Amino acid sequence: MMRTVILSKQAERKLNTLLEYLEKEWSAKVKQDFILNLDACFEAIKTYPESFTRSDFVKGLHQCSVTKQNTIYYTFDESSIFVITLFDTRQNPKKLKKEITKRNLER
């Protein structure tokens, strides 16, 4: 059975902001390339969710690099991949800890 990808409200908001930024500041092609990379990550995670690095922040949390600058953090169960956040790796890691709150881990 293939898992369903579910984005938290935070992940959805950050993804929309990033896509707007990429198109406005770079180009539609850069935005499209990012979307293709993200889709490839989601497909890989749906098939092999345990194969990606476990996060040091929270037990059961995994991370997958979409690009050099962006990483998604997720948890999973038998039927779903739950994306907690999309994080810009150039930011202070302390900000990531604030984004990965207990509230965001709940489904």
Backbone φ and ψ of 30, nearest 5°? -60, -45
Check residues 75 and 97 and name the one with the higher pLDDT.
75
Confidence (pLDDT) at 102:
54
The pLDDT of residue 94 is above 90: no
1 pLDDT above the threshold of 60? yes
Output the six-digit token pair for 22. 């990429």
Residue 27 DSSP one-character state: -
Q: Where are the alpha helices (DSSP H) in 22-73?
A: 28-47
On the question of pLDDT at 106 being above 70, the answer is no
Question: Taking 80 as the threshold, does the pLDDT of residue 58 lie above it?
Answer: no
- pLDDT (mean) for 30-58: 92
CATH of domain 4-101: 3.30.2310.20
